[in-house]
Amino acid sequence: SGAAACAVTHSLVIPFDVVKTRLQTDPEQYANLIDGVTTISKKEGFSAFTLGFQSTITGYFWYGLSVYPTYSFFKWWIEHEAFTPAFAAAHLNLISLIAGSIAAVVASIGLTPAEACRIRTVAEPERYRDEGLLGTLKIISEEDPTLGWKSLYAGFPSLVTRQVIFGSVKFLAFERATEAIFATWPSLRDATITALSVSLIAGALSGALSSVVSQPADSILTYVAKNKGD
């Protein structure tokens, strides 16, 4: 369910990702977000807003498949094996941050090549659009014969930095927001629909916060992935 949810939610924001990536890779071409939307639609048509679709679906399917079980496992392991019960109870925030960071590193292993392909496709559609995900993976891996497939991981340091910040803050903020809401309105636990609503609200808040704090690393990742092919 985590894999499907991640793939679907990130697919819904592909148009925004296209504009954001163009603003990061060619800031002189677009004045702002609105100008980016209008310029891209006029010059390339609305199909341009689906660039990188294959990479997004594949990358974030893996992300959801790996990050949630990894977080749950390491959170349990740290609470029950690494720390004493008393220490764990007193350091719940630290445990969430550590488990979230580990989960983000594991998820980044599969996400990095997909993100490299997505950024190349969005930044240079005339070269990569028709290649698809597999073709773009092949092109990048053959750019430097001495590195081979390792070229796909040129952006790994910046991506893993982004994802560690994003993931650890997201998991911590989600758990604390959920606890705060239920502590304020305990009756919301009683019905499935209200409990799910609390999860959605906490997820939106934690996602927004983690996106803001991880934005600098995201800009660096885009720069590295785009310029590696220049």
The pLDDT of residue 83 is 93
What are the φ and ψ backbone dihedral angles of 84, each rounded to 5 degrees?
Answer: -75, 155
Q: Is 90 exceeded by the pLDDT of residue 65?
A: yes
The whole-angstrom separation of Cα 196 and Cα 221 is 34
Model-level pTM greater than 0.75?
yes
Among 8, 32, 16, 39, smallest CA distance to 218 is for 16
Q: What is the pLDDT of residue 48?
A: 93
Confidence of residue 28 (pLDDT cuts 50, 70, 90): confident
pLDDT in the model for residue 131: 94
pLDDT at 218: 75
Distance from C-alpha of 135 to C-alpha of 121, rounded to nearest angstrom: 11
pLDDT digits (tens, 9 = 90+) for 133-150: 999 999 999 988 898 999
Tokens of 123: 């930044």
Q: What mean pLDDT, rounded, does the chain reach?
A: 90
Neighbour-count burial of 13, counting CB atoms closer than 10 A to its CB (0-12 exposed, 13-18 middle, 19+ buried) = exposed
pLDDT value of residue 1:
65
pLDDT tier, 227 (very low <50, low <70, confident <90, very high otherwise): low
pLDDT tier at 67 (50, 70, 90 boundaries)? very high
C-alpha span between 177 and 206 (Å, rounded): 8
Task: Give whole-number Cα distances, 48 to 44, 100, 178, in Å.
Answer: 6, 34, 38
Residue 219: per-residue pLDDT: 76
* Mean pLDDT for the stretch of residues 13-26: 89
Question: Band of the pLDDT at 29, cuts 50, 70, 90?
Answer: confident
In this prediction, residue 25 carries a pLDDT of 83
Per the CB < 8 A criterion, the answer to whether 62 and 111 are in contact is: yes
pLDDT band at 229 (very low <50, low <70, confident <90, very high): low
Q: How far apart are the C-alpha atoms of 156 and 150, rounded to whole Å?
A: 10
Strand, coil or helix: 207: helix
